[in-house]
Structure 1
Protein backbone atom coordinates (compact mmCIF):
# COMPACT_ATOMS: atom_id res chain seq x y z
CA UNK A 1 0.00 0.00 0.00
CA UNK A 2 1.39 3.41 -0.92
CA UNK A 3 2.20 5.92 1.81
CA UNK A 4 -0.33 8.71 2.35
CA UNK A 5 -0.72 11.77 4.54
CA UNK A 6 -2.22 9.57 7.23
CA UNK A 7 0.44 6.83 7.13
CA UNK A 8 3.66 8.69 6.28
CA UNK A 9 6.09 8.25 9.20
CA UNK A 10 7.59 11.25 10.93
CA UNK A 11 11.28 11.49 10.05
CA UNK A 12 14.05 13.62 11.51
CA UNK A 13 17.11 15.37 10.12
CA UNK A 14 19.70 17.61 11.79
CA UNK A 15 20.73 21.01 10.46
CA UNK A 16 22.65 23.74 12.28
CA UNK A 17 21.90 22.32 15.71
CA UNK A 18 18.17 21.81 15.08
CA UNK A 19 16.47 18.46 14.58
CA UNK A 20 13.67 19.01 12.07
CA UNK A 21 10.58 16.80 12.04
CA UNK A 22 9.23 16.14 8.56
CA UNK A 23 7.13 13.77 6.49
CA UNK A 24 7.83 12.82 2.91
CA UNK A 25 5.39 10.92 0.69
CA UNK A 26 3.92 10.74 -2.80
CA UNK A 27 5.21 9.96 -6.26
CA UNK A 28 9.01 10.12 -6.23
CA UNK A 29 10.96 11.60 -9.11
CA UNK A 30 10.94 15.12 -10.45
CA UNK A 31 10.93 18.24 -8.30
CA UNK A 32 9.52 17.70 -4.80
CA UNK A 33 6.91 20.07 -3.37
CA UNK A 34 7.99 21.55 -0.02
CA UNK A 35 5.01 22.88 1.96
CA UNK A 36 5.39 25.58 4.64
CA UNK A 37 2.74 25.86 7.33
CA UNK A 38 0.62 28.63 8.86
CA UNK A 39 0.85 30.35 12.27
CA UNK A 40 1.01 27.70 15.03
CA UNK A 41 0.53 24.91 12.49
CA UNK A 42 2.34 21.56 12.66
CA UNK A 43 2.57 18.50 10.42
CA UNK A 44 -0.96 17.41 11.30
CA UNK A 45 -2.60 20.75 10.51
CA UNK A 46 -2.43 20.15 6.76
CA UNK A 47 -5.58 18.85 5.07
CA UNK A 48 -5.01 15.27 3.87
CA UNK A 49 -7.51 15.84 1.06
CA UNK A 50 -5.11 18.49 -0.29
CA UNK A 51 -1.77 16.84 0.40
CA UNK A 52 -2.81 13.40 -0.87
CA UNK A 53 -4.20 14.93 -4.06
CA UNK A 54 -0.90 16.76 -4.61
CA UNK A 55 1.10 13.63 -3.73
CA UNK A 56 -0.68 11.68 -6.48
CA UNK A 57 1.35 13.72 -8.98
CA UNK A 58 4.64 14.40 -7.12
CA UNK A 59 6.57 13.94 -3.91
CA UNK A 60 5.37 16.14 -1.05
CA UNK A 61 7.51 17.22 1.92
CA UNK A 62 5.93 18.65 5.08
CA UNK A 63 8.17 20.15 7.79
CA UNK A 64 7.90 21.68 11.25
CA UNK A 65 9.77 24.95 11.72
CA UNK A 66 12.47 25.01 14.43
CA UNK A 67 10.88 24.92 17.87
CA UNK A 68 7.46 24.03 16.44
CA UNK A 69 5.69 20.68 16.78
CA UNK A 70 8.25 17.88 17.00
CA UNK A 71 11.22 19.95 15.77
CA UNK A 72 13.79 20.96 18.36
CA UNK A 73 15.50 24.33 18.76
CA UNK A 74 14.22 27.80 19.49
CA UNK A 75 11.40 29.20 17.35
CA UNK A 76 12.46 32.18 15.24
CA UNK A 77 11.14 35.65 16.01
CA UNK A 78 11.54 36.87 12.40
CA UNK A 79 10.51 35.63 9.00
CA UNK A 80 14.07 36.13 7.74
CA UNK A 81 15.52 33.73 10.33
CA UNK A 82 12.77 31.19 9.65
CA UNK A 83 13.64 31.31 5.94
CA UNK A 84 17.32 30.67 6.73
CA UNK A 85 16.33 27.70 8.89
CA UNK A 86 14.21 26.17 6.14
CA UNK A 87 17.07 26.64 3.66
CA UNK A 88 19.32 24.77 6.09
CA UNK A 89 16.68 22.01 6.23
CA UNK A 90 16.63 21.69 2.42
CA UNK A 91 20.44 21.58 2.38
CA UNK A 92 20.43 18.80 4.98
CA UNK A 93 18.12 16.72 2.75
CA UNK A 94 20.34 17.38 -0.27
CA UNK A 95 17.55 19.12 -2.18
CA UNK A 96 19.06 21.07 -5.08
CA UNK A 97 15.67 22.43 -6.17
CA UNK A 98 12.10 22.40 -4.89
CA UNK A 99 8.70 23.71 -5.78
CA UNK A 100 7.72 25.81 -2.78
CA UNK A 101 4.19 26.08 -1.35
CA UNK A 102 3.68 28.62 1.45
CA UNK A 103 0.41 29.12 3.31
CA UNK A 104 -0.11 32.28 5.41
CA UNK A 105 3.05 32.69 7.56
CA UNK A 106 4.53 30.00 5.33
CA UNK A 107 3.92 32.33 2.39
CA UNK A 108 5.99 35.02 4.09
CA UNK A 109 8.82 32.53 4.56
CA UNK A 110 8.48 31.27 0.98
CA UNK A 111 8.84 34.81 -0.40
CA UNK A 112 12.08 35.30 1.54
CA UNK A 113 13.47 31.95 0.40
CA UNK A 114 12.66 32.75 -3.24
CA UNK A 115 14.54 36.04 -2.87
CA UNK A 116 17.66 34.89 -1.03
CA UNK A 117 18.03 31.43 -2.64
CA UNK A 118 16.43 31.88 -6.08
CA UNK A 119 18.08 28.84 -7.66
CA UNK A 120 16.45 26.63 -5.01
CA UNK A 121 12.87 27.54 -5.99
CA UNK A 122 11.70 26.25 -9.37
CA UNK A 123 8.09 27.39 -8.91
CA UNK A 124 6.39 29.27 -6.09
CA UNK A 125 2.84 28.92 -4.74
CA UNK A 126 1.62 31.58 -2.29
CA UNK A 127 -1.68 30.89 -0.52
CA UNK A 128 -3.59 33.17 1.86
CA UNK A 129 -0.57 35.37 2.36
CA UNK A 130 0.70 38.89 1.79
CA UNK A 131 3.81 40.97 1.09
CA UNK A 132 6.18 42.48 3.64
CA UNK A 133 5.29 46.04 4.68
CA UNK A 134 2.02 46.28 2.76
CA UNK A 135 -0.90 48.40 4.01
CA UNK A 136 -3.20 46.38 6.23
CA UNK A 137 -0.58 43.78 7.15
CA UNK A 138 0.44 45.10 10.57
CA UNK A 139 -1.55 42.89 12.93
CA UNK A 140 -5.00 41.35 12.74
CA UNK A 141 -8.28 42.84 13.84
CA UNK A 142 -9.05 42.11 17.50
CA UNK A 143 -11.60 39.30 17.06
CA UNK A 144 -9.22 37.41 14.75
CA UNK A 145 -6.32 37.95 17.17
CA UNK A 146 -8.39 36.61 20.09
CA UNK A 147 -9.23 33.39 18.24
CA UNK A 148 -5.79 32.92 16.62
CA UNK A 149 -3.84 33.44 19.86
CA UNK A 150 -6.07 31.39 22.18
CA UNK A 151 -3.98 29.46 24.70
CA UNK A 152 -5.76 26.23 23.77
CA UNK A 153 -7.12 26.70 20.23
CA UNK A 154 -10.36 24.88 19.49
CA UNK A 155 -12.21 23.81 16.39
CA UNK A 156 -14.45 26.85 16.86
CA UNK A 157 -11.38 29.11 16.74
CA UNK A 158 -10.23 27.54 13.48
CA UNK A 159 -13.67 27.85 11.94
CA UNK A 160 -13.81 31.53 12.89
CA UNK A 161 -10.43 32.59 11.50
CA UNK A 162 -10.09 30.19 8.55
CA UNK A 163 -13.54 30.08 6.95
CA UNK A 164 -16.00 32.71 5.74
CA UNK A 165 -18.83 33.50 8.12
CA UNK A 166 -21.44 31.96 5.82
CA UNK A 167 -23.35 28.70 6.25
CA UNK A 168 -21.74 27.15 3.19
CA UNK A 169 -18.16 28.02 4.11
CA UNK A 170 -18.62 27.00 7.75
CA UNK A 171 -20.04 23.65 6.62
CA UNK A 172 -16.91 23.09 4.51
CA UNK A 173 -14.88 24.02 7.57
CA UNK A 174 -16.58 21.30 9.61
CA UNK A 175 -15.64 18.78 6.93
CA UNK A 176 -12.03 19.96 7.14
CA UNK A 177 -11.97 19.53 10.93
CA UNK A 178 -13.03 15.92 10.48
CA UNK A 179 -10.30 15.25 7.93
CA UNK A 180 -7.30 16.77 9.65
CA UNK A 181 -8.11 15.11 13.00
CA UNK A 182 -8.41 11.65 11.46
CA UNK A 183 -4.77 10.57 11.84
CA UNK A 184 -4.61 8.58 15.08
CA UNK A 185 -1.02 7.29 15.17
CA UNK A 186 2.32 9.11 15.31
CA UNK A 187 0.59 12.48 15.61
CA UNK A 188 2.78 15.55 15.81
CA UNK A 189 3.36 17.42 19.06
CA UNK A 190 1.14 20.51 19.44
CA UNK A 191 2.70 23.91 18.92
CA UNK A 192 3.78 25.54 22.19
CA UNK A 193 2.85 28.96 23.54
CA UNK A 194 6.52 29.92 23.18
CA UNK A 195 6.31 29.10 19.46
CA UNK A 196 3.02 31.01 19.21
CA UNK A 197 4.57 34.15 20.68
CA UNK A 198 7.71 33.95 18.55
CA UNK A 199 5.72 33.47 15.37
CA UNK A 200 3.40 36.33 16.29
CA UNK A 201 6.47 38.56 16.70
CA UNK A 202 7.60 37.49 13.22
CA UNK A 203 4.19 38.26 11.75
CA UNK A 204 4.08 41.69 13.41
CA UNK A 205 7.59 42.58 12.21
CA UNK A 206 6.74 41.48 8.66
CA UNK A 207 3.66 43.70 8.64
CA UNK A 208 5.23 46.97 9.84
CA UNK A 209 4.27 49.50 7.12
CA UNK A 210 7.17 49.88 4.70
CA UNK A 211 6.32 50.90 1.16
CA UNK A 212 9.89 50.32 -0.04
CA UNK A 213 9.73 46.67 1.08
CA UNK A 214 7.10 46.01 -1.57
CA UNK A 215 9.77 46.46 -4.24
CA UNK A 216 11.37 43.25 -3.01
CA UNK A 217 8.67 41.36 -4.87
CA UNK A 218 10.02 42.55 -8.21
CA UNK A 219 13.11 40.44 -7.47
CA UNK A 220 11.26 37.10 -7.34
CA UNK A 221 12.37 35.19 -10.42
CA UNK A 222 10.33 32.01 -9.93
CA UNK A 223 7.04 31.67 -11.79
CA UNK A 224 4.42 32.25 -9.09
CA UNK A 225 0.83 31.17 -8.45
CA UNK A 226 -1.15 33.23 -5.91
CA UNK A 227 -4.30 31.75 -4.32
CA UNK A 228 -6.70 33.28 -1.79
CA UNK A 229 -10.30 33.37 -0.64
CA UNK A 230 -12.43 36.34 -1.70
CA UNK A 231 -13.07 37.45 1.92
CA UNK A 232 -9.91 36.70 3.89
CA UNK A 233 -10.40 37.94 7.47
CA UNK A 234 -6.70 37.62 8.41
CA UNK A 235 -4.85 39.00 5.39
CA UNK A 236 -6.75 41.36 3.07
CA UNK A 237 -7.53 39.70 -0.26
CA UNK A 238 -6.56 42.88 -2.11
CA UNK A 239 -2.94 42.19 -1.16
CA UNK A 240 -2.93 39.08 -3.34
CA UNK A 241 -3.73 41.34 -6.28
CA UNK A 242 -0.91 43.65 -5.17
CA UNK A 243 1.54 40.72 -5.13
CA UNK A 244 0.34 39.56 -8.52
CA UNK A 245 1.07 43.01 -9.93
CA UNK A 246 4.58 43.20 -8.49
CA UNK A 247 5.94 39.66 -8.97
CA UNK A 248 7.12 39.60 -12.59
CA UNK A 249 5.80 36.16 -13.61
CA UNK A 250 2.70 35.72 -11.44
CA UNK A 251 -0.81 34.50 -11.97
CA UNK A 252 -3.69 34.68 -9.48
CA UNK A 253 -6.82 32.70 -8.58
CA UNK A 254 -9.42 33.88 -6.06
CA UNK A 255 -11.93 31.35 -4.67
CA UNK A 256 -15.51 32.45 -3.97
CA UNK A 257 -17.24 32.30 -0.58
CA UNK A 258 -13.91 31.57 1.12
CA UNK A 259 -11.72 33.23 3.73
CA UNK A 260 -8.15 32.52 4.88
CA UNK A 261 -8.12 28.76 4.36
CA UNK A 262 -9.47 28.49 0.83
CA UNK A 263 -7.03 25.57 0.33
CA UNK A 264 -8.84 23.59 3.04
CA UNK A 265 -12.29 24.62 1.86
CA UNK A 266 -11.63 23.61 -1.75
CA UNK A 267 -8.83 21.01 -1.49
CA UNK A 268 -9.69 19.30 -4.76
CA UNK A 269 -9.85 22.51 -6.79
CA UNK A 270 -6.69 23.90 -5.20
CA UNK A 271 -4.78 20.65 -5.82
CA UNK A 272 -5.91 20.73 -9.45
CA UNK A 273 -4.87 24.35 -9.91
CA UNK A 274 -1.51 23.81 -8.21
CA UNK A 275 -0.76 20.61 -10.13
CA UNK A 276 -1.56 22.31 -13.44
CA UNK A 277 0.70 25.22 -12.55
CA UNK A 278 3.59 23.05 -11.42
CA UNK A 279 3.31 20.88 -14.53
Structure 2
Protein backbone atom coordinates (compact mmCIF):
# COMPACT_ATOMS: atom_id res chain seq x y z
CA UNK A 1 0.00 0.00 0.00
CA UNK A 2 1.38 3.39 -0.98
CA UNK A 3 2.06 6.04 1.62
CA UNK A 4 3.33 9.59 1.29
CA UNK A 5 6.73 8.41 2.51
CA UNK A 6 7.02 5.89 -0.33
CA UNK A 7 5.23 7.33 -3.37
CA UNK A 8 7.44 8.54 -6.17
CA UNK A 9 7.74 12.10 -7.37
CA UNK A 10 6.22 12.73 -10.79
CA UNK A 11 6.50 15.65 -13.20
CA UNK A 12 4.19 17.43 -15.59
CA UNK A 13 5.01 20.16 -18.10
CA UNK A 14 2.51 23.01 -18.08
CA UNK A 15 1.55 25.53 -20.75
CA UNK A 16 3.80 28.11 -19.09
CA UNK A 17 6.80 25.93 -20.02
CA UNK A 18 7.53 25.01 -16.40
CA UNK A 19 8.02 21.37 -15.43
CA UNK A 20 6.29 20.90 -12.08
CA UNK A 21 7.31 18.21 -9.57
CA UNK A 22 4.46 16.65 -7.64
CA UNK A 23 3.27 13.65 -5.65
CA UNK A 24 -0.20 12.15 -5.76
CA UNK A 25 -1.65 9.83 -3.13
CA UNK A 26 -5.07 8.21 -2.85
CA UNK A 27 -7.96 7.78 -5.27
CA UNK A 28 -10.12 10.48 -6.83
CA UNK A 29 -12.96 8.05 -7.51
CA UNK A 30 -15.10 9.22 -4.61
CA UNK A 31 -14.20 12.89 -4.05
CA UNK A 32 -12.62 15.96 -5.61
CA UNK A 33 -8.83 16.08 -5.54
CA UNK A 34 -7.32 18.08 -2.67
CA UNK A 35 -4.33 20.20 -3.74
CA UNK A 36 -1.90 21.19 -0.99
CA UNK A 37 0.04 24.50 -1.08
CA UNK A 38 3.25 24.56 0.92
CA UNK A 39 4.74 26.90 3.52
CA UNK A 40 7.70 29.31 3.32
CA UNK A 41 10.87 27.51 2.14
CA UNK A 42 9.07 24.15 2.09
CA UNK A 43 9.27 21.49 -0.62
CA UNK A 44 7.56 18.12 -1.17
CA UNK A 45 9.50 16.59 1.72
CA UNK A 46 8.29 19.18 4.22
CA UNK A 47 4.76 17.81 4.37
CA UNK A 48 4.09 15.54 7.32
CA UNK A 49 3.57 12.03 5.83
CA UNK A 50 1.18 11.14 8.65
CA UNK A 51 -1.00 14.15 7.79
CA UNK A 52 -1.02 13.47 4.04
CA UNK A 53 -1.81 9.80 4.62
CA UNK A 54 -4.73 10.77 6.86
CA UNK A 55 -6.03 13.32 4.36
CA UNK A 56 -5.82 10.75 1.55
CA UNK A 57 -8.33 8.41 3.15
CA UNK A 58 -11.20 8.67 0.69
CA UNK A 59 -9.75 11.27 -1.68
CA UNK A 60 -6.80 12.03 -3.91
CA UNK A 61 -4.25 14.38 -2.33
CA UNK A 62 -1.73 16.21 -4.50
CA UNK A 63 1.36 18.05 -3.27
CA UNK A 64 3.61 19.99 -5.61
CA UNK A 65 6.56 22.35 -5.86
CA UNK A 66 5.52 25.68 -7.34
CA UNK A 67 7.64 27.56 -9.87
CA UNK A 68 11.33 27.59 -8.97
CA UNK A 69 10.81 25.59 -5.76
CA UNK A 70 12.56 22.27 -5.12
CA UNK A 71 12.60 20.08 -8.23
CA UNK A 72 10.29 22.34 -10.26
CA UNK A 73 11.91 24.36 -13.03
CA UNK A 74 11.77 28.12 -13.51
CA UNK A 75 12.37 30.86 -10.97
CA UNK A 76 10.45 31.55 -7.77
CA UNK A 77 8.02 34.47 -8.16
CA UNK A 78 8.32 37.50 -5.88
CA UNK A 79 4.56 37.96 -5.40
CA UNK A 80 1.76 35.78 -4.10
CA UNK A 81 -0.32 36.63 -7.18
CA UNK A 82 2.36 35.18 -9.49
CA UNK A 83 2.60 32.09 -7.28
CA UNK A 84 -1.15 31.64 -7.69
CA UNK A 85 -0.78 31.83 -11.47
CA UNK A 86 1.82 29.06 -11.30
CA UNK A 87 -0.46 26.91 -9.17
CA UNK A 88 -3.31 27.34 -11.66
CA UNK A 89 -0.97 26.35 -14.49
CA UNK A 90 0.01 23.20 -12.58
CA UNK A 91 -3.56 22.19 -11.73
CA UNK A 92 -4.65 22.78 -15.32
CA UNK A 93 -1.72 20.73 -16.64
CA UNK A 94 -3.00 17.76 -14.62
CA UNK A 95 -6.31 18.04 -16.47
CA UNK A 96 -8.23 18.98 -13.33
CA UNK A 97 -11.21 21.31 -13.65
CA UNK A 98 -12.48 21.46 -10.05
CA UNK A 99 -10.43 20.96 -6.88
CA UNK A 100 -10.37 21.64 -3.16
CA UNK A 101 -7.42 23.59 -1.79
CA UNK A 102 -5.47 23.33 1.46
CA UNK A 103 -3.00 26.16 1.86
CA UNK A 104 -0.53 26.27 4.75
CA UNK A 105 1.09 29.58 5.80
CA UNK A 106 2.47 31.18 2.60
CA UNK A 107 0.47 28.52 0.76
CA UNK A 108 -2.69 29.83 2.38
CA UNK A 109 -2.03 33.25 0.86
CA UNK A 110 -1.65 31.54 -2.52
CA UNK A 111 -4.92 29.64 -2.00
CA UNK A 112 -6.79 32.92 -1.45
CA UNK A 113 -5.35 34.31 -4.68
CA UNK A 114 -6.26 31.19 -6.64
CA UNK A 115 -9.87 31.51 -5.47
CA UNK A 116 -9.94 35.13 -6.64
CA UNK A 117 -8.06 34.49 -9.90
CA UNK A 118 -9.89 31.34 -11.00
CA UNK A 119 -13.01 30.88 -8.83
CA UNK A 120 -14.50 28.25 -11.14
CA UNK A 121 -11.53 25.98 -10.37
CA UNK A 122 -12.06 25.97 -6.59
CA UNK A 123 -14.79 24.18 -4.67
CA UNK A 124 -13.81 24.42 -0.97
CA UNK A 125 -10.79 25.94 0.76
CA UNK A 126 -8.83 25.14 3.92
CA UNK A 127 -6.57 27.94 5.18
CA UNK A 128 -4.07 26.84 7.83
CA UNK A 129 -2.00 29.43 9.71
CA UNK A 130 -3.30 32.22 7.51
CA UNK A 131 -3.92 35.96 7.32
CA UNK A 132 -5.63 38.30 4.87
CA UNK A 133 -3.65 40.55 2.56
CA UNK A 134 -3.11 44.06 3.89
CA UNK A 135 -3.82 43.22 7.54
CA UNK A 136 -2.08 45.55 10.02
CA UNK A 137 0.93 43.92 11.66
CA UNK A 138 1.62 41.46 8.85
CA UNK A 139 4.32 43.47 7.06
CA UNK A 140 7.03 40.89 7.65
CA UNK A 141 7.46 38.52 10.56
CA UNK A 142 8.78 39.34 14.01
CA UNK A 143 12.61 39.49 14.17
CA UNK A 144 12.86 36.33 16.28
CA UNK A 145 10.68 34.45 13.79
CA UNK A 146 12.55 35.36 10.64
CA UNK A 147 15.83 34.79 12.47
CA UNK A 148 14.68 31.27 13.34
CA UNK A 149 13.37 30.23 9.91
CA UNK A 150 14.98 32.64 7.46
CA UNK A 151 18.71 32.07 7.86
CA UNK A 152 21.09 31.28 5.03
CA UNK A 153 21.21 27.68 6.20
CA UNK A 154 17.87 26.27 7.45
CA UNK A 155 18.02 25.50 11.16
CA UNK A 156 16.25 22.42 12.56
CA UNK A 157 16.18 24.08 15.97
CA UNK A 158 14.64 27.21 14.49
CA UNK A 159 12.01 25.16 12.70
CA UNK A 160 11.05 23.38 15.91
CA UNK A 161 10.90 26.62 17.92
CA UNK A 162 8.41 28.26 15.53
CA UNK A 163 6.33 25.28 14.47
CA UNK A 164 5.80 23.67 17.88
CA UNK A 165 5.11 24.69 21.47
CA UNK A 166 7.73 22.41 22.96
CA UNK A 167 11.02 20.92 21.84
CA UNK A 168 9.83 17.44 22.78
CA UNK A 169 6.75 17.62 20.55
CA UNK A 170 8.67 19.38 17.81
CA UNK A 171 11.47 16.83 17.68
CA UNK A 172 8.97 13.97 17.53
CA UNK A 173 7.07 15.50 14.61
CA UNK A 174 10.22 16.72 12.85
CA UNK A 175 11.63 13.20 13.04
CA UNK A 176 8.48 11.93 11.34
CA UNK A 177 8.50 14.65 8.67
CA UNK A 178 12.15 14.40 7.75
CA UNK A 179 12.87 10.78 8.66
CA UNK A 180 10.03 8.83 7.06
CA UNK A 181 11.28 8.97 3.46
CA UNK A 182 14.43 6.94 2.90
CA UNK A 183 14.87 7.54 -0.84
CA UNK A 184 13.65 9.75 -3.66
CA UNK A 185 14.06 12.99 -1.74
CA UNK A 186 13.09 16.32 -3.25
CA UNK A 187 15.64 18.98 -4.19
CA UNK A 188 16.29 21.40 -1.34
CA UNK A 189 14.92 24.90 -1.75
CA UNK A 190 17.51 27.56 -2.55
CA UNK A 191 18.48 30.89 -1.06
CA UNK A 192 16.98 32.56 -4.15
CA UNK A 193 13.65 30.89 -3.33
CA UNK A 194 13.87 32.07 0.28
CA UNK A 195 14.49 35.68 -0.83
CA UNK A 196 11.70 35.64 -3.41
CA UNK A 197 9.20 34.08 -1.02
CA UNK A 198 9.95 36.58 1.72
CA UNK A 199 9.54 39.40 -0.82
CA UNK A 200 6.08 37.93 -1.49
CA UNK A 201 5.32 37.79 2.23
CA UNK A 202 6.39 41.42 2.65
CA UNK A 203 4.30 42.56 -0.32
CA UNK A 204 1.28 40.64 1.01
CA UNK A 205 1.64 42.29 4.39
CA UNK A 206 1.86 45.95 3.33
CA UNK A 207 -0.85 47.56 5.48
CA UNK A 208 -3.82 48.37 3.27
CA UNK A 209 -7.37 48.17 4.57
CA UNK A 210 -8.73 48.31 1.02
CA UNK A 211 -7.13 44.92 0.32
CA UNK A 212 -9.31 43.36 3.00
CA UNK A 213 -12.35 44.06 0.83
CA UNK A 214 -11.04 41.60 -1.76
CA UNK A 215 -12.08 38.74 0.49
CA UNK A 216 -15.70 39.42 -0.40
CA UNK A 217 -14.84 37.84 -3.75
CA UNK A 218 -14.14 34.45 -2.14
CA UNK A 219 -17.62 33.00 -1.87
CA UNK A 220 -16.63 29.34 -1.52
CA UNK A 221 -16.92 27.70 1.90
CA UNK A 222 -13.66 28.18 3.84
CA UNK A 223 -12.26 26.40 6.89
CA UNK A 224 -9.79 28.63 8.75
CA UNK A 225 -7.51 26.99 11.32
CA UNK A 226 -4.49 27.77 13.44
CA UNK A 227 -2.67 26.88 16.64
CA UNK A 228 -3.37 28.96 19.73
CA UNK A 229 0.33 29.82 20.16
CA UNK A 230 1.46 30.46 16.58
CA UNK A 231 4.26 33.09 16.75
CA UNK A 232 4.55 33.40 12.96
CA UNK A 233 0.95 34.20 12.03
CA UNK A 234 -0.89 35.07 15.21
CA UNK A 235 -4.28 33.41 15.83
CA UNK A 236 -6.05 36.77 15.81
CA UNK A 237 -5.49 36.87 12.05
CA UNK A 238 -7.46 33.63 11.71
CA UNK A 239 -10.42 35.28 13.41
CA UNK A 240 -10.02 38.42 11.28
CA UNK A 241 -9.85 36.34 8.11
CA UNK A 242 -12.88 34.23 8.99
CA UNK A 243 -14.85 37.34 9.89
CA UNK A 244 -14.11 38.99 6.55
CA UNK A 245 -14.91 35.96 4.38
CA UNK A 246 -18.57 35.60 3.37
CA UNK A 247 -18.75 31.87 4.18
CA UNK A 248 -16.16 30.72 6.72
CA UNK A 249 -15.75 28.79 9.94
CA UNK A 250 -12.75 28.92 12.26
CA UNK A 251 -11.07 26.55 14.71
CA UNK A 252 -8.06 27.20 16.93
CA UNK A 253 -6.20 24.08 18.07
CA UNK A 254 -4.95 24.06 21.69
CA UNK A 255 -1.32 24.02 22.86
CA UNK A 256 -0.07 24.29 19.30
CA UNK A 257 1.99 26.70 17.21
CA UNK A 258 2.57 27.23 13.49
CA UNK A 259 2.77 23.49 12.79
CA UNK A 260 -0.51 22.68 14.56
CA UNK A 261 -1.70 20.64 11.56
CA UNK A 262 1.29 18.31 11.93
CA UNK A 263 1.07 18.11 15.72
CA UNK A 264 -2.70 17.42 15.64
CA UNK A 265 -2.62 15.62 12.29
CA UNK A 266 -5.36 13.08 13.01
CA UNK A 267 -7.79 15.62 14.47
CA UNK A 268 -7.05 18.17 11.77
CA UNK A 269 -7.42 15.60 8.96
CA UNK A 270 -10.75 14.46 10.40
CA UNK A 271 -11.94 18.07 10.63
CA UNK A 272 -10.86 18.72 7.05
CA UNK A 273 -12.62 15.58 5.81
CA UNK A 274 -15.83 16.61 7.57
CA UNK A 275 -15.60 20.09 6.05
CA UNK A 276 -14.82 18.90 2.51
CA UNK A 277 -17.54 16.26 2.53
CA UNK A 278 -20.36 18.68 3.39
Per the normalisation by structure 1, the TM-score is: 0.96
How many pairs were matched up? 274
Shift of 1:170: 3.0
* Conserved 8 A contact 1:173-1:264: no
Partner of 1:21: 21
What is the Cα-based RMSD across aligned positions, in Å? 0.9
Is the counterpart of residue 136 in structure 1 residue 137 in structure 2? Answer: yes
Deviations 1:240-279 (A, max 9, x none): 0011111111000101111111101111111010011011
Deviations 1:174-202 (A, max 9, x none): 11111111201100011000000000000
Partner of 2:159: 158
Shift of 1:206: 0.3
SS in 2 for 1:178: helix
Is the counterpart of residue 3 in structure 1 residue 10 in structure 2? Answer: no
Partner of 1:73: 74
Partner of 2:237: 239
Partner of 1:171: 168
Shift of 1:236: 1.6
Unaligned runs of at least 5 residues, structure 2:
none
Is the counterpart of residue 192 in structure 1 residue 193 in structure 2? Answer: no
Distance in 2, matches of 1:277 and 1:66, equals: 29
Shift of 1:154: 2.4
Partner of 1:148: 149
* Conserved 8 A contact 1:80-1:112: yes
Per the normalisation by structure 2, the TM-score is: 0.97
Shift of 1:157: 1.1
The one of 224, 248, 251 equivalent to 2:249 is: 251
